[in-house]
């Protein structure tokens, strides 16, 4: 149940995470940041491997603190999760990203997928996430099949039956579901079997192994083949070199994301990038 999920989480807080002073300072700053509009979202393009066409973007949250400067999401997301404000923050990102997708559409950029990271903890709040997503899509006027949510497997995914039901309700809306950082966790394969995913995101660590010796290539290729055999789309993330791109494309990977083809950027830059590509 939801109650159980929350309890599991607070048990984790108390038992295995001791907070230090820096975390507490960040926690205070994070509370203020929500009120003070210190967050923004950048978008990293994802391209079709075969055609090079723009397929979609991943929305990535940014926090620019007035005195501390930019703080990485790898630092503040876990703190937001511990504080219990990830629900609010996650909702803000979803609203922002969906509004942006509609704004792009109005400016002529159609048919791109908006991928948004969702923390597993967003499933355990008092809010019904599927209902929240449905409301946001209706509010903003975004077609549900334009939205994809990315979920990282996590130790908190303890109640698999509940997670499957929640994911299925989101999927029933027409929203796509992606398994992020595939291959890095403890139970990627069993999640894949038990949960309804549309897309597998091949973790950056497998991509950076490419051309570092034969074994590295084998893992990336095997995961791509597995995605194909399971009729799931495969996205490679962290693609930084032409060699990686070529190998991934030849192996049948569907979509490519990484610094080689585009870093996370402001919304306007996505628009001009798509216009440049069309003019070619």
Q: Which two tokens stand for residue 6?
A: 């929350």
Beta carbon of residue 108, minimum distance to ligand C2E (angstroms, whole number): 26
Q: Does 61 bind ligand C2E (CB under 6 A)?
A: yes
Site string for ligand C2E, 65-94 (x = CB under 6 A): -------xxx--x------------x--x-
Longest dimension (CA), the chain: 57
Site for Ca ion contains 180 (CB under 5 A): yes
Region of 24-32, 101-109, 219-227, 257-265 interacting with ligand C2E (CB under 6 A): 257-265
> Which C-beta is closer to ligand C2E: that of 90 or that of 183?
90
Those residues whose C-beta lies under 8 Å from the C-beta of residue 155, and which sit 6 or more positions away, are 12, 186
C-beta of 20: minimal distance to Ca ion in Å? 23
Q: What's the closest the beta carbon of residue 239 comes to ligand C2E, in angstroms?
A: 6
User: Can you tell me which of 81, 150, 153, 254 binds Ca ion, judged by CB under 5 A?
Assistant: 150
Told to check if 240 binds ligand C2E by CB under 6 A, we report: yes
* Short-list 258, 249, 155, 243, CA closest to 204: 258
- Which of Ca ion, ligand C2E, none does residue 148 bind to, with CB < 5 to 8 Å depending on kind? none
In the chain, the DSSP E strands lie at 39-48, 54-65, 69-71, 113-118, 147-152, 176-182, 199-202, 233-236, 255-256
CB within 8 Å of 224: residues ≥ 6 apart: 202, 234, 236, 248, 251, 252, 253
- Work out how close the CB of 207 gets to ligand C2E at its nearest, in angstroms, rounded to a whole number: 8
Residue whose beta carbon is closest to Ca ion = 150
132 binds Ca ion (CB under 5 A): no
Contacted by 264, from ligand C2E, Ca ion, none: CB < 5 to 8 Å by type = ligand C2E
Whole-angstrom distance, CA of residue 68 vs CA of residue 74: 16
Contact of residue 52 among ligand C2E, Ca ion, none (CB under 5-8 Å per partner type): none
Instruction: Looking at residues 122 to 161 of the shown chain, list those that interact with ligand C2E (rule: CB under 6 A).
Output: 150, 152
* 113 belongs to the binding site for ligand C2E (CB under 6 A): no
In this structure, are strands 176-182 and 199-202 parallel, antiparallel, or unpaired?
Answer: parallel
Tell me how far the alpha carbon of residue 230 is from its chain's centroid: 21
**Using the rule CB under 6 A, is 100 a contact of ligand C2E?**
no
Cβ count near 183 (within 10 Å): 18
Secondary structure class of 126 (helix, strand, coil): coil
Residues 255, 2: Cα–Cα separation, whole Å: 35
Helix, strand, coil content of the chain in percent (nearest 5): 50, 20, 30
Residues found near ligand C2E in the complex (CB under 6 A): 44, 60-61, 72-74, 77, 90, 93, 117, 119, 150, 152, 180-181, 237-240, 258-259, 264
């Amino acid at each position: 149940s939801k109650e159980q999920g929350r309890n599991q989480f607070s048990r984790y807080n108390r038992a295995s995470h001791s907070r230090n002073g820096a975390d507490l300072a960040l926690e205070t700053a994070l509370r203020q940041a929500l009120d003070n509009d210190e967050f923004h979202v950048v978008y990293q393009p994802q391209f079709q491997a075969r055609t090079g066409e723009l397929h979609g973007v991943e929305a990535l949250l940014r926090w620019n603190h007035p005195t501390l400067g930019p703080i990485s999401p790898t630092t503040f997301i876990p703190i937001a999760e511990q504080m219990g404000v990830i629900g609010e923050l996650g909702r803000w990102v979803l609203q922002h990203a969906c509004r942006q997708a509609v704004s792009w559409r109005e400016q002529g950029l159609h048919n791109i997928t908006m991928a948004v990271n969702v923390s597993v903890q967003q499933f355990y709040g008092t809010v019904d996430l599927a209902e929240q997503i449905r409301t946001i899509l209706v509010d903003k006027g975004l077609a549900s099949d334009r939205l994809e949510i990315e979920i990282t497997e996590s130790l908190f995914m303890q109640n698999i039956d509940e997670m499957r039901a929640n994911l299925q309700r989101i999927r029933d809306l027409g929203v796509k579901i992606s398994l992020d950082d595939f291959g890095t966790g403890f139970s990627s394969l069993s999640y894949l079997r038990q949960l309804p995913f549309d897309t597998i995101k091949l973790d950056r660590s497998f991509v950076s192994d490419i051309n570092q010796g034969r074994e590295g290539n084998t893992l990336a290729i095997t995961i791509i083949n597995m995605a194909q055999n399971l009729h799931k789309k495969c996205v490679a993330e962290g693609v930084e070199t032409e060699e990686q791109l070529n190998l991934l494309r030849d192996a049948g990977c569907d979509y490519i994301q990484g610094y080689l083809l585009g870093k996370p950027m402001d919304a306007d830059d996505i628009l001009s990038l798509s216009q440049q590509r069309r003019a070619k």
